[in-house]
């Protein structure tokens, strides 16, 4: 159950076997069926999660009822609503399983316990937070400076394993375009090959 998260931790920091086991013991396993929610808007997010198996989408619904996908989280990715988790505020996000999934969840209390008793864990989350900020900054720049065609091609290239697991509707919601516009982009690209 914890092999994948152990590999993920090793990519970021060095922990002893005892520290790794102690940290992993703070997580609770949760199985989530396809189309089930890990979090709904209006609820307070009480976890940070690690995706052990499956695929999630994290999204917001705007005032016009349109879905805006912030990110997808597949195996070996972390998932949460960091604003709600950190500040105890009701979430504006939905976290929904796209496939039958398994996540490992840590509560705020257990995360704070890890910070106090396993000081290297604070570095782990600092490093991951920095990487998340870099990814979000790059995505914002891409959204401001690239065409929808370029963003679509970048998405296909950057996430080929996700591309096969997502519907066109989900990809369009991630790119911030309509499903119809995505179809036009796909036809245009297919005509260029």
Domain that holds residue 21: 3-118
Number of domains, the chain: 1
Q: What is the pTM of this model?
A: 0.92
Task: Return d(Cα 78, Cα 105) in angstroms, integer.
Answer: 10
Whether 184 maps to a domain, the answer reads no
Whether 67 maps to a domain, the answer reads yes
Whether 66 maps to a domain, the answer reads yes
Whether 151 maps to a domain, the answer reads no
pLDDT by 10s per residue, the chain, length 193: 789 999 999 999 999 999 999 999 999 999 999 999 999 999 999 999 999 999 999 999 999 999 999 999 999 999 999 999 999 999 999 999 999 999 999 999 999 999 999 999 999 999 999 999 999 999 999 999 999 999 999 999 999 999 889 999 999 999 999 989 999 998 888 887 6
Whether 93 maps to a domain, the answer reads yes
Nearest residue to 105 (alpha-carbon basis) of 47, 153, 159: 47
Task: Return d(Cα 118, Cα 22) in angstroms, integer.
Answer: 8
Q: CATH number of the domain that 43 lies in?
A: 2.60.120.10
């Amino acid at each position: 159950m914890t092999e994948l998260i152990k590999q993920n931790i090793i990519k970021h920091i060095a922990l002893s076997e005892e520290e790794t086991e102690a940290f992993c013991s703070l997580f609770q396993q949760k199985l989530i069926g396809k189309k089930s929610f890990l979090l709904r808007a209006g609820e307070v997010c009480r976890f940070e999660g690690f995706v052990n198996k499956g695929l999630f989408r994290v999204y917001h619904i705007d005032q016009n009822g349109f879905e805006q996908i912030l990110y997808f989280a597949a195996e070996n990715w972390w998932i949460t609503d960091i604003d709600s988790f950190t500040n105890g505020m009701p979430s504006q996000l939905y976290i929904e399983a796209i496939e039958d999934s398994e996540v490992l969840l840590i509560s705020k209390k257990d995360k704070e316990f890890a910070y106090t008793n396993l000081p290297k864990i604070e570095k782990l989350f600092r490093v991951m937070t920095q990487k998340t900020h870099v990814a979000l900054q790059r995505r914002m720049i891409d959204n401001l400076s690239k065409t929808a065609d370029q963003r679509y091609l970048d998405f296909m290239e950057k996430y080929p394993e996700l591309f096969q697991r997502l519907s066109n509707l989900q990809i369009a919601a991630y790119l911030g375009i309509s499903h119809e516009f995505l179809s036009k982009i796909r036809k245009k690209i297919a005509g260029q090959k």
